[in-house]
Structure 1
Amino acid sequence: MEFFLDTANLDQIREVNDLGLLDGVTTNPTLMSREGGDWREQASLICDAVDGPVSLEVIGTTHEEMIKEAKDLVSFGPNVVVKIPMIPEGLKALKELTEREIKTNVTLVFSPSQALLAAKLGATYVSPFVGRLDGLGQSGMEAVDQMRTLFDNYAFNTKILVASVRHPMHVIESGLIGADVITLPYATIMQLMQHPLTDKGLAAFLADWEAFQAEQQ
């Protein structure tokens, strides 16, 4: 399973990349707005800093607007993936971008039926928002599981990119289901490497070593 970082913050991107855990980055208008400044400059810096795919999202809601923005977004680098919303006009844009061999990430997906449509039209990625589904009392992971079955049944090449991740168990459950990619907030990816017994064990080892060293003096 590939790990993407869901952020527009360059410091976070560089830190996770230094850990060797960064396979790609996903952004959206909200994340970009949090960084302030010139979003075009920020997008360019992110694309330069990341070896893997970088999802940049359109803000238009018509087919024509999305195609125009997509042509602009891909100019930021060969690793750009254009994020398209799961709406009828988005599906029209998706079909055209697939024909133009532009990589796409269909976002704001909440049901297996939506994912099926995106895969049928050749989306590179489809992003189910599991945390938002959980928040409504629905099972985000059940939706991902059904998507996995549908895609395997028909040998779709579209990758399942689990998004709206709220906690480490979303990561484990995604892996058990067989999701291709998971995009994580910085805080969640840091949580994955933490466990109180690890900290306790390391403290004990270091204390024992210090005691042993003191005996040797």
Structure 2
Amino acid sequence: MKFFIDTANLAQIKEAAALGILDGVTTNPSLMAKEGIKGEEAIHQHYRTICDLVDGDISAEVLSTDYEGIIEEGKALAAIHPNIVVKVPMIKDGIKAIKWFTDNGIKTNCTLIFSAGQAILAAKAGATYVSPFLGRIDDSGWNGVQLIEQIAQIFNVQGFKTQILAASIRNPNHIIDCAAAGADVCTCPLEPILGLLKHPLTDLGLAKFIEDAKKMQAEAAVA
């Protein structure tokens, strides 16, 4: 399973990349605004900077919701760097645009997926990725991981090449569950990724190793 980081914060992207396990980045207008990035020129430059930091797919989201607007924005975003993936909302004109992008060699990420039916439409249109939103699905009383499993089964049976990009990840267990459910990619903030490092038995074991090492050094010094 690939690991993407869901942020526009360059420091967090660098920290995730330094771990050696980062495969890509996802962003959205809200994340850009959070970093104070405003205006088309500034946003495009920020994407260029991210592409210089990470050698992998970088999802850049369109703002338009009409077919012509999505196409024009998507073409401009795709021209920034070969690693840009145009992020398109799961709407009727979005599906039409994904088909156009697919036919013209532009990678896409269909976002705001909340059902298997939506995932099927995006895959039929040729989306590179579909992004089911686990956390938001769980918040609504449904089971996000079960949706991942269902989509994975359908894609396997039907032979769809579209990758499942699990989004709206809230904690380390979400990442583990998505890996087991068949997600091709998970995208989340840095905190859940770092949370995978932690286990109380690891802390206890390390403390014991350090204690034993100090005793050995002390005994060696006396001898």
TM-score tier after normalising by the smaller chain length: over 0.9
Aligned counterparts of 1:215 and 1:194: Cα–Cα separation in 2: 32
Q: Which amino acid is 1:128 matched to?
A: P
Mapping of residues 72-151 of structure 1, within 5 Å? 72-151=76-155
Match of 1:65 in 2: 69
Q: Secondary structure at the match of 2:164?
A: strand
The Cα of 1:149 is off from its aligned counterpart by 1.0
Aligned counterparts of 1:103 and 1:96: Cα–Cα separation in 2: 10
Aligned counterparts of 1:118 and 1:75: Cα–Cα separation in 2: 22
Q: Which amino acid is 2:179 matched to?
A: G
Aligned counterparts of 1:52 and 1:188: Cα–Cα separation in 2: 20
Q: Which amino acid is 1:59 matched to?
A: L
Structure 2's unaligned 5+ residue stretches are: none
Aligned counterparts of 1:199 and 1:185: Cα–Cα separation in 2: 23
Q: Pick one of 206, 209, 215 that aligns with 1:211.
A: 215
Q: Secondary structure at the match of 1:161?
A: strand
Q: Secondary structure at the match of 1:137?
A: coil
- Aligned-pair Cα RMSD in Å: 0.9
Aligned counterparts of 1:39 and 1:146: Cα–Cα separation in 2: 36
Is the counterpart of residue 5 in structure 1 residue 9 in structure 2? no
Aligned counterparts of 1:36 and 1:199: Cα–Cα separation in 2: 38
The Cα of 1:10 is off from its aligned counterpart by 1.1
Aligned counterparts of 2:69 and 2:196: Cα–Cα separation in 1: 39
Is the counterpart of residue 54 in structure 1 residue 38 in structure 2? no
Match of 2:33 in 1: 33
The Cα of 1:211 is off from its aligned counterpart by 1.8
Aligned counterparts of 2:196 and 2:21: Cα–Cα separation in 1: 11
Flag as ranges the 4+ runs of structure 1 deviating above 6 A: none
Is the counterpart of residue 15 in structure 1 residue 15 in structure 2? yes
Q: Secondary structure at the match of 2:68?
A: helix
Aligned counterparts of 1:167 and 1:145: Cα–Cα separation in 2: 18
Is the counterpart of residue 177 in structure 1 residue 181 in structure 2? yes
Structure 1's unaligned 5+ residue stretches are: none
Match of 2:199 in 1: 195
The Cα of 1:40 is off from its aligned counterpart by 2.3
Is the counterpart of residue 165 in structure 1 residue 169 in structure 2? yes
Aligned counterparts of 2:214 and 2:43: Cα–Cα separation in 1: 51
Report the TM-score, using the length of structure 2 for normalisation. Answer: 0.95
- Aligned pair count reads 217
Aligned counterparts of 1:90 and 1:68: Cα–Cα separation in 2: 12
Aligned counterparts of 1:43 and 1:51: Cα–Cα separation in 2: 12
Report the TM-score, using the length of structure 1 for normalisation. Answer: 0.97
**Is the 1:163–1:183 Cα contact (8 Å) retained in structure 2?**
yes
**Is the 1:47–1:76 Cα contact (8 Å) retained in structure 2?**
no
The Cα of 1:39 is off from its aligned counterpart by 2.0
Aligned counterparts of 2:153 and 2:178: Cα–Cα separation in 1: 13
